[in-house]
Amino acid sequence: MAGIVRSVSLLPPGARREPGGVKVVFLIYPGFQSLDLTGPLEVFSLAGGYEVETVALGGGVVRAHSGLGFAPDRAAEECAGPIDTLVVVGGEGAREAVADAALLEWVRAAAERTRRLSSVCSGAFVLAAAGLLEGRGATTHWRACGLLGEYFPGVTVHADRIFVVDGRVWTSAGVTSGIDMALAMVERDRGPETALRVARELVVFVQRPGGQAQFSAQLSASRPRHPALAELQGWIPEHLDADLSVTALAERAAMSPRHFARLFAREVGATPGAYVESVRVETARRLLESTGLPVDVIARTCGFGTPETMHRSFRRRISVTPGAYRSRFGTH
């Protein structure tokens, strides 16, 4: 059996508690994902200025899905006063948590005295079951995005985001994206210098933009059954500066443009134009990260033609400009 970890032992002595700091409360429950807790918790604790605590309904040792036991700071029922940020973690245990009337009632009541609500991974289901995501945009782990939209049709699910901010409600995708979300919160609260310091301490990117996709274009797209389309999926990334219009691609696939466009959308899950743009953006991202090539050269290499066209595609796809992306992730 896995051991028991007292939450205060997760951090260096003195790094955890700052009396008078704004309160960040992590709600855990049986079967939660331990990384959903420890990743974001480390971010807030290292940032300084936050009083971080973990709570669980009824208190006592709570077992994570891995079997590791966590001793929360207090029972959720004993958590009083204003809360700056409430973080509901995710994990396999969310399946039972959404049916726990007492837990949902506590979340609803706590939300009334909380400035900023948030969830990591499947913790979004808990917020949704408590009625706190109704009419809002949100995200969760890629595997569960469809279920979130199916069970809670009042939620606009963004399956292609690592975290989503809608008013005072923040939701993040799977596991490590909780760190990205926490860093974004710290940057908003304490400024970019503090977020950068924490990111360096944790040896992670200072912050992946919230609009960044959870997966690459190739992984996100369906693998087509038609051999001509499967061949095109391998050919397109190697010929991004070629004519990749529907007419040109249809000719290569030996189909009429209309038939090609319908078949491509059905089997790949995106229109030819959208798919080509996504591959171009992904390739441009890699070049911005790993080379010192000028933006105009990258734009031509990836088939955008001009930096202005690449700029528009980046804003549309990942919500940042090429320059901002390079400043965050460039290694040259």
Q: Take residue 141 and report the two structure tokens written for it.
A: 């782990």
For 143, phi then psi, to 5°, come to -70, -20
Which amino acid appears at position 326 of this protein?
A: R
CA triple 325-45-55, angle to 5 deg: 115
Three-state secondary structure call for residue 93? coil
The CB density around residue 65, as the number of other CB atoms within 10 Å, is 16
Phi, psi of 19 (to 5 degrees): -55, 130
- In this structure, are residues 23 and 84 in contact, taking their beta carbons and an 8 Å threshold? yes
How far out from the chain centre does Cα 85 lie? Answer: 18
Active-site residue, selected from the candidate residues 79, 121, 145, 302: 121
Three-state DSSP at 156 gives strand
Residue 238 burial by Cβ neighbours in a 10 Å radius (0-12, 13-18, 19+)? exposed
Taking the CA of residue 29 as centre, how many other CA atoms within 13 Å lie in the half-sphere pointing to its CB?
24
Report the distance separating Cα 119 and Cα 173, nearest Å: 9
Is 145 annotated as catalytic?
no
**Are 170 and 163 a contacting pair, CB within 8 Å?**
yes
Identify the DSSP state of 216: -
Sheet of strand 114-120: strand arrangement: 74-75, 50-56, 22-28, 83-88, 114-120, 169-172, 163-166
**CB neighbours of residue 9 within 10 Å:** 10
Which pair of structure tokens corresponds to residue 156?
């606009």
Q: Which residues are catalytic?
A: 121
